[in-house]
């Protein structure tokens, strides 16, 4: 299904194609008068981008309930992607086999069936997911054909200068060696899990050997990852990073709340940022430089294309997306 038909298809699927006044009036954008509705947010060379497509993209990116600003950013990307797809459609055809191979790559180490089922559980039907994969492959091939041949061969001096300007990008990030103890509660009782986690934290700080007892004699509602694992510090939320910075080795920190329960963290080891010599990351440096140059060429093309075709934002709530 092409994107023009798909935009109208989603509109029909959710209800009726309407105007954006529902959002402007502060009402639920998914319903109006008890009936689900949809509307065209923008038009790119007569091809509509509907609100349902923006919501679908948010779900595919795992964004949950995105803010209006996040939805505007999604619209910006969809406008760019639509311009690229319109150009790609003139000479690029992505086969079903290529889509299947890409799904296998994305699903690994899971099976494609398991991968698709995980998306179905999040409300994403297989046909929509396959179409998005097909579109991403079409854009990738278009970029490789149209822009990659325009890249100049970088000199050694250029790559070394790029490395010096972006050393942090090629460093091994600071990381910590940790154990984790998760506390769950029946019937998703978050307060009960939190209180239990706080009590365990106090016990573990008084007597670290309590962890070994919990590991050897499992208790219902407590999940233990007893084997220490290295985790980049940047992967943690700000509160956990701050606690880790102030913690000493062999110290328990937390508890911290999450959607999965309450977690306690045992700091076993830490390593500072390590900078790798240019010679060991030369290929990575070149790939990063080429990606940046490719982005620049594509951005120039996008701006030129926007001057040639009509791009209209119909929903005033998304007008900020027009500023790139």
Q: Which pair of structure tokens corresponds to residue 7? A: 């935009």
Cis peptide upstream of residue 109 (ω within 30 degrees of 0): yes
What pLDDT is attached to residue 233?
92
Reference 264, options 281, 277, 276, 247; nearest CA is: 247
Give the pLDDT score at 13: 34
Tokens found for residue 26: 């502060």
Burial string for 100-136 (b: 16+ CB within 10 Å, else e) reads eebbeeeeeeeeeeebbeeeeeeebeeebbbbbbbbb
In whole angstroms, what is the distance from residue 109 CA to residue 120 CA?
18
What letter would DSSP give residue 125? -
Domains and CATH numbers, the chain: 3-90+298-322 (no CATH), 172-271 (3.10.50.40)
The predicted pLDDT at position 59 comes to: 86
The pTM for the full model equals: 0.62
| pLDDT value, residue 282 | 96
* pLDDT for the residue numbered 220: 72
Residue among 248, 213, 249 at smallest CA distance from 228: 249
Classify 251 as helix, strand or coil: strand
Nearest to 314 by CA among 131, 54, 62, 83: 54
Q: What is the pLDDT along the chain (324 residues), one digit of tens a residue?
A: 445 444 433 333 333 333 333 333 333 444 444 444 789 999 999 999 999 999 989 888 877 788 999 999 999 999 999 999 999 999 999 999 999 999 999 998 889 999 898 888 888 889 999 999 999 999 999 999 999 999 999 999 999 999 999 999 999 999 999 998 888 755 545 577 788 888 888 988 888 888 887 777 766 777 766 688 999 998 888 889 999 999 999 999 988 887 667 888 999 999 999 999 999 999 999 999 999 999 999 999 999 999 999 999 999 989 866 654
CB 287 within 8 A of CB 15: no
CA atoms within 13 A on the CB side of 139: 19
SS3 187: helix
Token pair of 156 as six digits: 């050694």
**pLDDT in the model for residue 34:** 46
* DSSP letter (8 states) at residue 318: G
What is the pLDDT at residue 287?
96
């Amino acid at each position: 299904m092409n994107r023009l038909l798909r935009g109208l298809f989603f509109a029909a699927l959710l209800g009726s194609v309407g105007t954006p006044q529902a959002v402007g009036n502060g009402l639920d954008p998914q319903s109006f008068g008890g009936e689900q509705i949809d509307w065209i947010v923008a038009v790119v060379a007569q091809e509509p981008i509907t609100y349902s497509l923006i919501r679908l993209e948010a779900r595919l990116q795992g964004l949950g309930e995105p803010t209006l600003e996040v939805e505007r950013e999604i619209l910006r990307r969809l406008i760019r992607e639509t311009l690229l797809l319109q150009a790609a459609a003139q000479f690029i055809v992505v086969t079903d086999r290529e889509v299947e191979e890409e799904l296998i790559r994305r699903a690994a180490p899971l099976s494609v069936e398991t991968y698709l089922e995980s998306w179905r559980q999040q409300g994403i039907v297989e046909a929509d997911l396959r179409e998005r994969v097909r579109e991403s492959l079409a854009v990738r091939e278009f970029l490789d054909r149209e822009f990659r041949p325009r890249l100049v061969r970088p000199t050694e001096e250029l790559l070394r200068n790029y490395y010096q300007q972006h050393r942090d990008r090629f460093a091994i990030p600071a990381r910590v060696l940790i154990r984790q103890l998760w506390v769950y509660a029946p019937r998703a009782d978050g307060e009960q899990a939190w209180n239990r986690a706080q009590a365990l934290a106090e016990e573990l700080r008084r007597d670290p050997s309590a962890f070994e007892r919990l590991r050897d004699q499992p208790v219902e509602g407590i999940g233990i990852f007893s084997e220490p694992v290295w985790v980049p510090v940047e992967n943690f939320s700000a509160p956990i990073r701050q606690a880790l910075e102030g913690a000493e080795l062999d110290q328990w920190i937390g508890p911290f709340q999450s959607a999965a329960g309450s977690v306690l963290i045992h700091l076993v080891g830490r390593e500072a940022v390590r900078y790798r010599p240019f010679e060991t990351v030369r290929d990575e440096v070149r790939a990063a430089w080429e990606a940046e140059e490719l982005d620049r060429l594509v951005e120039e093309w996008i701006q030129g294309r926007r001057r040639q075709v009509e791009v209209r934002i119909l929903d005033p709530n998304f007008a900020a997306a027009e500023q790139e």
